[in-house]
Amino acid sequence: MTRLIVSFFTFLPLLAAASEAGHGGGHGAPEAKHEVSAKALPLLGDHGWTSFLTNSIFVSGLVTVILLWFFRSAMKPKALLPGKKQNFVELIVEFLYGQVENIVGPKVAPSAFPLLATIFIYVTISNWTGLLPGVGTIGLSSHIGPLHSTTHVETPLLRPGSADMNMTFGIALCAMIVWFFLTIRELGFMGFISHTFGPKGGLQGMLKYALMPIFFIVGVIEIISILFRPMTLSLRLYGNVFAGENLLHTMGTLVKSGNATIDFLSSVLIPLPFYFLELLVGVLQGMVFALLVAVFIKLSTTHDEEHGEEHAH
């Protein structure tokens, strides 16, 4: 099971990088504004094939490497008396598997768990990287003040991956691809069509045929909502992380007294309470993302069980 989680850690940044390359033309030159840029900025220039490597993709790859190393190093020397690292990883895996099984059921849990666990762990750690010293605060700036200080970094060298729309959309797209695969495997294609457009609630007789046009319209609405799921999932995560970045930036630049020492101390002390809030938001966003995907899987893979109960009665 841990190997499956590790494989998803490897896949997510690659998918996001492909999405970044597809939207590479949208990255313009860094804007000289005293605000957090909504765009991920290229590390090696905005021209040619290197434009896809942005500061957020770089951090995403770095987070992936760290998680791969940690999980592999914890589980490689399997022992009857595991060490602290192995115990910690097994505790996380067992806890998350129990939660996934409670939502999607024991039948689908083994297949859905690698995706859902990876989303929760990866998104949470990716959110927390934005709180590390130097992430978003080290880079290039043309606004130099006293003692070579700056109030704004125009081109940060590091940027949390979840603050890039390409990354969040890549994760959401990956989740929906796995959702579709699990749904078709459990129901079959015609079973999915029947589940989406067919009558619900075990209706029989003339009432069933009378309500079929309504259920068909509901099915069309359901298909539209499914098509919008990657966008809503990605926007929710991106919006919350980007808002957190702006909050910390605003609190850090709230005091502008002109005294370099006072401004520096204010930029450190004032945002400090909000860092604890962002720690909570980071794990909540990872949990909400994984929970929504788990609910999507649950809703689309329990049709056979419902029919089995109806025939049993």
- Cβ 151 vs Cβ 145: under 8 Å: yes
- Of 32 and 101, the structure prediction assigns the larger pLDDT to 101
φ and ψ at 110, to 5 degrees? -60, -30
- Of 153 and 305, the structure prediction assigns the larger pLDDT to 153
Chain segment 225-246, per-residue pLDDT in tens: 889 999 999 999 988 888 888 8
Q: How many CB atoms lie within 10 A of CB 33?
A: 9
Checking if the pLDDT of 206 tops 80, the result is no
Report the percentage of the chain scoring pLDDT > 90.
Answer: 22
Checking if the pLDDT of 210 tops 60, the result is yes
Q: How many CB atoms lie within 10 A of CB 308?
A: 9
The residue-averaged pLDDT of 13-35 equals 45
Chain segment 249-281, per-residue pLDDT in tens: 788 778 777 777 887 788 778 888 888 888 999
Chain segment 121-150, per-residue pLDDT in tens: 999 998 898 888 777 667 665 555 555 555
Amino acid at site 310: E
Report the percentage of the chain scoring pLDDT > 70.
Answer: 72
pLDDT band at 203 (very low <50, low <70, confident <90, very high): low
- Cβ 72 vs Cβ 60: under 8 Å: no
At 136, list the tokens: 């978003």
d(CA 109, CA 294): 10
3-state SS assignment for residue 155: strand
- Cβ 117 vs Cβ 294: under 8 Å: no
What is the gyration radius of the CA atoms in the chain, in angstroms?
Answer: 23
The residue-averaged pLDDT of 51-76 equals 85
The residue-averaged pLDDT of 220-228 equals 89
Please give the pLDDT value at position 205. Answer: 65
Q: Exposed, middle or buried, 97 (CB in 10 Å: 0-12/13-18/19+)?
A: middle
The residue-averaged pLDDT of 154-178 equals 85
- Of 295 and 32, the structure prediction assigns the larger pLDDT to 295
> Across the strands, what pairs with 139?
156
Checking if the pLDDT of 309 tops 60, the result is no
Checking if the pLDDT of 215 tops 70, the result is yes
Please give the pLDDT value at position 9. Answer: 47
The residues, any chain, with a CB within 8 Å of residue 112's CB and separated by 6 or more, are: 100, 104, 178, 182, 294, 297
- Of 194 and 151, the structure prediction assigns the larger pLDDT to 194
Predicted TM-score of the model (pTM):
0.76
Checking if the pLDDT of 156 tops 90, the result is no
Least confident of 22-26, 64-68, 104-108: 22-26
d(CA 174, CA 119): 10
Token match 């009558």: residue?
Answer: 199
- Cβ 167 vs Cβ 16: under 8 Å: yes
CA quadruple 250, 253, 257, 263: dihedral sign:
positive
At 290, list the tokens: 């994984």
Token match 């860094």: residue?
Answer: 30
At 228, list the tokens: 């919008």
d(CA 190, CA 186): 11
Element housing 97 (H / E): helix 84-104
The residue-averaged pLDDT of 29-42 equals 59
Classify the phi-psi angles of 49: left when phi > 0, otherwise alpha if psi is within -120 to 50, otherwise beta: alpha
Please give the pLDDT value at position 118. Answer: 92
Q: How many residues does the chain have?
A: 313
pLDDT band at 16 (very low <50, low <70, confident <90, very high): very low
Please give the pLDDT value at position 307. Answer: 46
Checking if the pLDDT of 10 tops 50, the result is no
Least confident of 25-29, 128-132, 159-163: 25-29
- Beta-strand ranges (E) seen in 98-225 are 139-140, 155-156
